Chain A
Amino acid sequence: MKENFKILSCVVIVFIGSFFVLSLFLDAYSEGLLTTEKNIVSVGGIVHQNPKQITLDVLKTLSGEDEEKIKVNSFGFRGEEFNEIKPDNTFRIVLLGGSQMFGTGATSEQTTIPGYLREMINLNKLDYDIEIINAGVKGIDSYKELLLLENTIINFSPDMIIVYDGLNDLRSVNSATHVLENWNSICNSSIKNNIDALIILQPLAGFGSKLLTENEKQYSENGIDFNNEPLINSLYLYEDYSKKLQKLENCKNGIDMRFIFDDQIEQIYIDEGHVSDRGNQIVANSIFPYIESSFPSEIISGNMIINKSEGKKLSMMSEIEYAIDRLIKNYGEKLISISVPAYEEDVKEVDSNKQKNIVKSQSMNYENEEISIEIELIQGIDQVSNQTILKMNVINEITGEKFKNVTYFLDISFEGGNILRDFFFVENENFEIRIMPNASEKVIIKGDRQYDHNAIIVNEENPIIVSGPVFTNEGIYEFRINLRTIDDPSNWMFSLDGFRAEVLIEKVV
């Protein structure tokens, strides 16, 4: 009896002890101690404290694989760099949508919907380059997709666009007519530009006939819209979306994917609207035939290779044309940025060791207002750490007011190489980050991320600290900034892209 008691108390100690260790581990993780960036619970709680995910994440960080997790290209989209001008003999497909298309919940780049599509295309080995661009942006609905299409995507001259919609429209309780209008505008605009458009209504937990697992049932019941009403109450609204999908005017295809997971017994959803890798694979599988049917006949017969040489000449011509076109276009508005090493003036006011650089970008027109971005760099705050403070403001040129609730896509490059590239959301007017230059290889940004755009939240309480090889060399740094929201966190735009400025960095004496 005594021996039994001893054994059982050991078992109890093991139980309590191991759960204690686990909770310490999870706490440390959510405090950001174990990864390079904090993992923030988003909409319906994507990170439901899944210990396995977290352990894998930490192991990845330890083995240095973490950096590759989500690559953002210079257009602010997920994925590898691509050329704005479409290469010859290339069939370019741009995938639009919210976080589902972006790949929230996918464990890797290859397991997003675009990732699986790329894999399927590679397997089919066609004599034609097919380029898949992931233009999914977290949190956008059909209206914002229309803006994105008209302002940005059109410039990429895609051959096909695929729009993957549902959750974000439903969460904003957009009426079915409103959604249809957006879809129709997307279709019209693609028809005008000779693009094939495919509109897809995405699957949501509890909105199809899939036999939900216990967890999925909970997600389906707990999902809420932006008014904090249960999402599942909008079942009929979603039904209406699906009916409207049949009434598209200028699109060849509208696909209702609400029931796509009906045959699946296993867990697919990881919250009310996001799916696992397996889910992405199933979706990609059913998109693929539509892509195949959109290929021009040359691809299938392989005739394109013959025209390749001719094509090349053409392409060079078009590249030159494009460059000229751009030059003319930008001539009027481009306010060439001037570096103003202003320390001579400031010497009297500020500490003698501090150097201040203030630079302004060109201005752009937004709703009849002239908007520009002011960039200020303060070097030499602290001799030891060589800290630099980067401040930015979006300014109304006419009234002199500063804008609040701005989401920046900031891209800093030096001698052609990219140094820092990320989204930042600034609630107040002042964007301020502290930069600690050091000789390490990686740039590490510490801070919380907001759901939309995956943007790092900047506020006065927790200044963002960036450490790594930023501003370590003297010379001219090129800033490129796209504004994604302005005035209001939900006021999305895709028309204020391409602010540019050059900043001169000199060694502090």
Chain B
Amino acid sequence: MLFNSPEFIVFFIFVLAIISCLKFRRFQHLFLVGSSYIFFYLSNNFLITLLIYSTLLDFYLGKAIFNATNKKRKKILLITSLAGNLGLLGFFKYANFFINEVNSIANVFGLENIEALDIILPVGISFYTFQTISYTVDIYRGKLTPSDSFWEFALFVSFFPQLIAGPILRASHFIPQLREKFSKDRVGTKLKGITIHHSALRFGITLMAMGFLKKMFFADNIAPMVNEIFSVPYGLESFTVIIGAIGFGVQIYCDFSGYSDIAIGAAAILGFHIPANFNKPYFATSPVDFWRRWHISLSTWLRDYLYIPLGGNKKGDYRKYTNVLTVMIIGGLWHGASWNFLIWGILHGGFLAIHKFIVKKFPSLNDNELLKSRKTKIISILVTQYFIFLAWITFRVEDINALPYILYKYVIWDFATESTIQILSHNKLPVILIVLFFILNYISYKKNIVKVFSELKIRYWTMILFAIMISILLFYDPFPEEFIYFRF
């Protein structure tokens, strides 16, 4: 079930209606688990068994790790959990890529090919396995006590707003939200009732509307131009490549952050807080800053469960750079098994390592007054984004053999304009939308638009919703693009 489908709207209204009718808190929670499973079943049918498998495995292993008395036993149990989760992920996501690559090597030596497996990628698998891994690892580290109730844990894994494309939740953040709070940081044993509060309802609806606007108005209407540019990469002019890269950057941001907004908004209506996944990434002033702003739930996950265990930046410079590179390569491959994501990961790893190297080599840069001025900030944003958009090209390009050509054109400008003008002239709408996006993005960088909107007088709020709805409907293409991050 897609978020941008009428089915989801009906489903969500149905869930809200039932939940506000249910009197007992336990029923409310069980109903949420049930509806999450129905949601998953409707998008994925029998693959729901994988979700249940992952839930059962980590619930019991989590308990066992917590109860184990010696360190060795804890370790073995943790490894079992990791193997169980990563094995699942590896099989469904990477088996065929691996077979393909082995075959291409085998071809060189004239060996017989292995047949590719007939598997489909289960939607959301990358997200929920990462979620359950964080759970067992946190227990192993002694940072988290395992959940007593299976249903609570099941809800944490399957909570439907974020089930298919994140944000990746942390148990330590989510599970306590299911209990009544005693004080600021003490949680009781009493289940929390789910009541729909009017301010949360308005905030949630506004955020969801913004998400739909980003996805259906911006991303879907920019997509045709990006598809056109990247469909025949050879012979493109430099400016076309740059427009394509910017277009794709805007498209993927609107697509993914739109999804996250809908998820966070839907959860907010139900009274749950999901941390933000994006924070205006295209205003990042350095690669490190970018990763603090882009897909935050994944980058912090990688930091906590990969970068730090690898030694982080505590084991010397050489290790620091290789760690950064490894983490970013794995982060790239997390998106899927293909050369595009591998190269994308390497590029981002490289950017981060080089940035860290420069900062280390010239520590005086940090305190330099000149570099703190507004002008230099703008320049550093532009330079950073030049590299970020360069990396988006590797992410988007279909024919990997064309990549060197496109990157060459992106870096070394040919100043030809003939076909660029042609492409721009029959893609006026996408171009206008890209410009509009940057204007709106700048405004929201300065001010929290969603908060401002949701606190307006109700008639103005209704008018804004109406404007959003009309813009979506008038530019609605009955053949929409799928959410890009559903593939991951």
Q: Report the interface size for chain A: residues with CB under 8 A from the other chain.
A: 36
Question: A281's contact among B232, B458, B466, by CB below 8 Å, is which?
Answer: B232
- The answer on a CB contact under 8 Å between A13 and B235 is no
A interface residues with partner B (beta carbon < 8 Å): 3-4, 6-8, 10-11, 13-15, 17-19, 21-22, 25, 48, 50-52, 55-56, 107-108, 110-111, 119, 123, 213, 215, 266-267, 277-278, 281, 285
Residue of B whose beta carbon sits closest to that of A124: B235
A55's partner among B196, B475, B478 (CB-CB below 8 A) is B475
5 pairs of residues in contact across A and B, judged by CB atoms under 8 Å: A10-B461, A14-B466, A107-B426, A108-B426, A278-B227
A388 to B298, CA, bound (A): 72
Closest approach, in angstroms, between the C-beta of A49 and any C-beta of chain B?
8
Q: How near does chain B come to A123, taking the closest CB pair, in angstroms? A: 5
Given the complex of chains A and B, what is the CA–CA distance between A285 and B477 in angstroms?
Answer: 26
Interface residue from B231, B462, B476 paired with A13 (Cβ < 8 Å): B462
User: Interface digits, B199-217 against A, CB 8 Å rule (1 contact, 0 not)?
Assistant: 0011001000000000000
- CB-CB under 8 A from B422, the residues of chain A are 110, 119
Q: Contact check, A7 vs B198: say whether CB atoms are below 8 A apart.
A: yes
B382 near A: Cβ within 8 Å? no
Contact of A266 among B227, B469, B470, B473 (CB under 8 A): B227
A52 with B201: CB separation less than 8 A: no
Cβ–Cβ < 8 Å partners of B260 in chain A:
none
Q: Is the CB of A111 within 8 A of B426?
A: yes
Chain A nearest CB from B368 CB (Å) reads 48
Interface residues of B in 15-53 (CB under 8 A from A): none
B contact residues around A25 at 8 Å (CB): 474
CA separation between A56 and B426, bound complex, in Å? 11
Q: Known contacts A10-B461, A107-B426; is A3 also within 8 Å of B198 by CB?
A: yes
Interface string of B434-473 (1 = CB under 8 A from A): 0000000000000000000000001001100110011001
Closest chain B residue, CB of each to CB of A265: B482
Given contacts A11-B205, A52-B477, whether A278 and B470 have CB atoms under 8 Å apart is no
Given A111-B426, A267-B479, A10-B462 contact (CB < 8 Å): yes
Nearest Cβ on chain B to A205's Cβ, whole angstroms? 13
How far, in whole Å, are A454 and B228 apart by their CA atoms in the complex? 28
9 nearest A-B pairs in the assembled complex, by CB-CB distance: A3-B198, A18-B469, A52-B477, A10-B462, A267-B479, A14-B465, A55-B474, A22-B473, A14-B466
Q: Are A7 and B202 in contact (CB under 8 A)?
A: yes
The reply to whether A18 and B232 contact each other, CB–CB distance below 8 Å, is no
A22 to B461, CA, bound (A): 20
| Given known contacts A4-B196, A110-B422, A278-B227, A10 and B473 CB-to-CB distance under 8 angstroms | no
User: Given A51-B476, A52-B475, A215-B478: A21 and B205 within 8 A (CB)?
Assistant: no
| In the complex with contacts A10-B458, A14-B462, A50-B477, A4-B426 CB distance below 8 A | no
Is B221 in contact with chain A by the CB < 8 A criterion?
A: yes
Q: Is B403 at the interface (CB under 8 A from chain A)?
A: no
The answer, yes or no, to whether B429 is at the interface (CB within 8 Å) is: yes
Known: A7-B205, A25-B474. A17 touches B466 (CB 8 A): yes
Measured between beta carbons, the chain A residues less than 8 angstroms from B469 are 14-15, 18
Closest to A264 in B: B231
A17 to B429, CA, bound (A): 25
Q: Which residues of A have CB within 8 Å of B477? A: 50-52
Q: Which residues of B contact A15 (CB under 8 A)?
A: 469
B interface, CB within 8 angstroms of A: 196, 198, 201-202, 205, 221, 227-228, 231-232, 235, 419, 422, 426, 429, 458, 461-462, 465-466, 469-470, 473-479, 481
Contacts of B205 in A (CB 8 A): 7, 11
Residues of B within 8 A of A215 (CB): 478-479
| Chain B residues within 8 Å of A123, by CB | 235, 419
Tell me whether A51 and B198 are in contact (CB under 8 A): no
A22 touches B196 (CB 8 A): no
Tell which of B228, B232, B474 touches A277, judged by Cβ atoms closer than 8 Å: B228
CA distance A6 to B235 in the complex (A): 57
Q: Which of chain B's residues has its CB closest to A270's CB?
A: B479
Nearest chain A CB to B258's CB is how many angstroms away?
Answer: 17
Q: How far is the CA of A5 from the CA of B422 in the complex (A)?
A: 51
Interface centre among B221, B227, B478, B479 (most CB of A within 10 A): B479
In the assembled complex, the CB of A220 is this many whole angstroms from the nearest CB of chain B, namely 15
A56 in contact with B198 (CB, 8 Å): no
A503 to B315, CA, bound (A): 95
In this complex, what residue of A is CB-closest to B463?
A: A14
Chain A residue at minimum C-beta to C-beta distance from B205: A11
Report yes or no: A19 in contact with B473, Cβ–Cβ below 8 A: yes
Contact at B426–A110, with CB atoms within 8 Å? Answer: yes
Question: Are A51 and B474 closer than 8 Å at their CB atoms?
Answer: yes
Min C-beta distance of A349 to chain B, whole Å: 55
CA distance A459 to B475 in the complex (A): 35
Q: How far is the CB of B241 from chain A (nearest CB, A)?
A: 15
Say how far A107's CB is from chain B's closest CB, in angstroms. Answer: 7
Known contacts A6-B458, A10-B461: A18-B479 contact under CB 8 Å: no
A374 to chain B, nearest CB (A): 44
Select one of A14, A213, A278 contacting B228, CB under 8 A: A278
The answer for the CA separation of A51 and B462 in the assembled complex, in Å, is 23
| Contact of A4 with B465 in the complex, beta carbons under 8 Å | no
Contact B474 A278 (CB under 8 A): no
Once the chains are docked, how many angstroms separate the CA of A13 from the CA of B461? 12
Shortest Cβ distance from B466 into A: residue: A14
State whether B201 touches A4 (Cβ < 8 A).
Answer: yes
* Residue pair B458, A7 in contact (C-beta under 8 Å): yes
**Minimum distance in angstroms from A464 CB to a CB of chain B:** 31
The smallest C-beta distance from B110 to any residue of chain A, in angstroms, reads: 27
CB distance from A283 to the nearest CB of B (A): 13
Chain A residues lying within 8 Å of B231, measured Cβ to Cβ, are 278, 281
Q: A267 — which chain B residues lie within 8 A by C-beta?
A: 479
Which residue of B429, B470, B479 is within 8 Å of A213 (Cβ)? B479
Bound form: Cα–Cα A50–B479 in Å: 9
Complex contact A18–B466 (CB within 8 A)? yes
Contact of A4 among B198, B232, B481 (CB under 8 A): B198
B458 adjacent to A18 (CB under 8 Å): no
Q: Which residue of A lies closest to B429 (CB)?
A: A56
**Do the beta carbons of A52 and B458 come within 8 Å of each other?**
no
User: In this complex, what residue of B is CB-closest to A269?
Assistant: B479
B211–chain A nearest beta-carbon distance, Å: 15
Q: Who on chain B is nearest to A108 by CB? A: B426
Q: Given contacts A22-B473, A278-B228, are A7 and B478 in contact (CB under 8 A)?
A: no
CB-nearest residue of chain A relative to B9?
Answer: A15
- Closest Cβ of chain A to B399, distance in Å, is 11
Q: Are A51 and B475 in contact (CB under 8 A)?
A: yes
Residues on B with C-beta less than 8 A from A285 are: 232
How far, in whole Å, are A198 and B477 apart by their CA atoms in the complex? Answer: 36
Residue from B422, B470, B481 with most neighbouring chain A CB atoms (10 Å): B470
Give the complex CA separation of A104 and B322 in angstroms.
55
- Give the complex CA separation of A119 and B421 in angstroms: 13
Inter-subunit contact A51/B479 (CB<8 Å): no
CA distance A165 to B228 in the complex (A): 26
Please indicate the chain A residues that have their CB under 8 angstroms from the CB of B196 in the complex. Answer: 4
16 new A-B contacts, CB < 8 A, other than A22-B473, A48-B478, A52-B221, are A7-B198, A14-B466, A14-B469, A22-B470, A50-B477, A51-B476, A52-B474, A52-B475, A55-B475, A110-B422, A119-B419, A123-B419, A215-B479, A267-B479, A278-B228, A281-B231
State A407–B410 Cα separation when bound (angstroms): 53
CA distance A285 to B231 in the complex (A): 11
CB-CB under 8 A from B462, the residues of chain A are 10, 13-14
Provide the residues of chain B in CB contact with A22, threshold 8 Å: 470, 473-474
A48 to B419, CA, bound (A): 31
B32 to chain A, nearest CB (A): 19
Question: B426 — which chain A residues lie within 8 A by C-beta?
Answer: 107-108, 110-111
